């Protein structure tokens, strides 16, 4: 993987040298592609916080874990991002755990979602596609569909209890 300091990672080496600090919509044929955006915005880890990653478990059940801890937005040292991304080896599931994701006080938009390698297919968390949002103690899990090309959005409580399905749920 190639980790961007701006709240996303990619599996494409051609995208790795492209900083893309301006928040984009998912899906989009514009770079970056092959993308997992967990808090895509102009972040500034040089001003504080930490970015760490590691692999845990044994094959074929390893997990790649990426932590952004108290990373500030560029130009707003009190607007912080603390989130964890978990990639599961066998299931190919993608989990995004948000402890604290503050909205930037001036730029105001971020993206959280996934996109394929050509930028033609993507899924975002409802209300988090190049929009104004913040998060405290929530999580989202993306899993492969049983039938390729189809998907169902299912919602669970923090304890894992199913609460509904569909693109939007109150």
- Cα separation, 72 vs 78, in Å, equals 7
The β-bridge partners of 159 are none
3-state secondary structure 71-139: EEECCEEEEEEEEEEEEECCCCCEEEEEEEECCCCCCCCEEEEEECCCCCCEEECCCCCCECCCEEEEE
Residue 11 is predicted with a pLDDT of 86
Q: Give the pLDDT of residue 7.
A: 93
C-alpha dist (Å) from residue 123 to 18, 28, 49, 103, 119:
22, 11, 28, 20, 11
Report CA-CA distances (Å) from 36 to 112, 116, 160, 162.
8, 9, 23, 24
Q: Which of 87, 52, 57 is nearest to 67 (CA)?
A: 52
Q: How far apart are CA 88 and CA 38, in angstroms?
A: 16
Residue-level pLDDT, tens digit, the chain, 170 residues: 999 999 999 888 766 566 667 788 999 988 888 899 999 999 999 999 999 999 999 999 999 999 999 999 999 999 999 999 999 999 899 999 999 999 886 667 999 999 998 889 899 999 999 999 999 999 999 987 766 666 667 777 767 677 777 665 55
10 Å Cβ neighbour count for 140? 22
Of residues 41, 50, 59, the one with CA closest to residue 84: 50
Q: What is the pLDDT of residue 31?
A: 83
Task: State the pTM of this model.
Answer: 0.84
| Cβ density class 109-121: b for 16+ within 10 Å, e for less | bbbbbbbeeebee
């Amino acid at each position: 993987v190639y980790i961007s300091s701006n709240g996303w990672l990619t599996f494409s080496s051609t995208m790795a040298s492209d900083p893309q600090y301006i928040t984009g919509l998912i899906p989009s044929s514009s770079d970056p592609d092959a993308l997992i955006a967990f808090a895509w915005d102009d972040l500034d880890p040089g001003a504080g916080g930490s970015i760490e990653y590691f692999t845990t478990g044994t094959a074929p059940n390893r997990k790649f874990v990426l932590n952004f801890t108290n990373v500030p937005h560029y130009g707003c040292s009190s607007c912080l991002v603390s989130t964890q991304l978990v990639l599961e080896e066998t299931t190919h599931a993608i989990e995004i755990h948000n402890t604290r994701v503050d909205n930037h006080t001036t730029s105001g938009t971020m993206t959280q979602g996934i996109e394929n390698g050509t930028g033609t297919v993507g899924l975002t968390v409802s209300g988090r596609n190049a929009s104004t949002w913040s998060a405290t103690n929530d999580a989202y899990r993306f899993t492969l569909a049983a039938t390729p090309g189809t998907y169902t959005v299912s919602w669970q409580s923090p304890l894992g209890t199913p609460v509904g399905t569909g693109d939007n749920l109150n």
